Amino acid sequence: MTRGKVTSQDDKWETDHLLMFGDAGEDWPLELDKYHPDFPEWVEYLPRRFQECAFFAAFVWPSRNSPLESCHDLNVTIEWDACGLGVVPCIVCSGCLWLRLKHRQIHGVEALRMQGFPIHNIPAHLHAYVSHKKFMELSGNSFSGFVVTPALTSVFKDAPWDLVALATASRKREVPEEVPVEVLVEVPVEVHSDSVELDTIFNEVMQAVQVPVDLSCSDDGISSTESSGEDSD
């Protein structure tokens, strides 16, 4: 096939596919059902560029006849063809991992599992509220749990804990003096003035931080000031 002149009007991926499929002896634009009548149905939910990358992996890729499963990142440009034969390539947030023999995409939950995330702790009903894209973002470019766990275990095993204990014991701990706190709260009367629950919660919070307060209602709202402990004149 003679390579035509690439102009500034050409879409880059279309030009790349024209050249790559042309070099492989394939006509372009592609007829997705050329080699298998069900192939268009398998990839119908994917963007056109991804569909053609999946076609390349299934019918043009050099190891297309291998009995081993191969995994292809369809988001990578076709000339790079990020793939693994018998293994999964690097998982990235924007990746679209395609299994050549199973004719399907790897789901984000599967990607999380391959990265060592304890997906068994994620309730199944939550999967409906978390998108595939979000799962891929969590798994992409992350440290594999199968690598981090033994690495951290080795660190704790070989750490000089005697030196750590000595350094901790020699550290001087100074307790800072308590600083008086003044709390001012303005709550609209029309919203919460008759709310007993709000007053109860507010008093519990103030007691927790040990700031005595006095709640009083006025025409313009509820105000709270720090009690002085002395009778006013």
pLDDT digits 0-9 by tens, 21-71: 999 899 999 999 999 999 999 999 999 999 999 999 999 988 888 899 999
In a domain, 38, yes or no: yes
179-188 as b/e: b if 16+ CB within 10 A? eeeeeeeebe
pLDDT the model gives residue 84: 83
Average pLDDT over residues 227-231: 45
Cis peptide before 29 (omega within 30 of 0): yes
Q: Are residues 70 and 85 in contact, defined by beta-carbon separation less than 8 angstroms?
A: yes
Residue 117 lies in a domain: no
Residue 119, pLDDT > 50, answer yes
Burial group, residue 230, by CB count within 10 angstroms (0-12, 13-18, 19+): exposed
Examine residue 168 and state whether it is found in any structural domain, yes or no: no
Q: What is the pLDDT of residue 17?
A: 92
Containing domain of residue 98, as a range? Answer: 12-106
Angle between helices 12-23 and 48-59 (to 10 degrees): 20
Q: Which of 106, 141, 173 is the last residue of a domain?
A: 106
Is the pLDDT at 218 greater than 60? The verdict is no
The predicted structure's pLDDT at residue 186: 52
Token pair in block for residue 9: 């009007």
Global pTM reads: 0.57
Q: Where is the domain boundary, 66, 82, 106?
A: 106
- Residue 217 maps to a domain: yes
Please report whether residue 72 resides in a domain.
Answer: yes
Examine residue 207 and state whether it is found in any structural domain, yes or no. yes
What pLDDT is attached to residue 172? 55
* Domain tally, the chain: 2
| Pairing assessment for the beta strands 83-85 and 70-73 based on DSSP bridges | antiparallel
From 61, 85, 106, the end of a domain falls on 106
In a domain, 81, yes or no: yes
Residue-level pLDDT at 55: 94
The region of weakest confidence among 45-49, 59-63, 181-185, 189-193 is 189-193
166 lies in a domain?
Answer: no
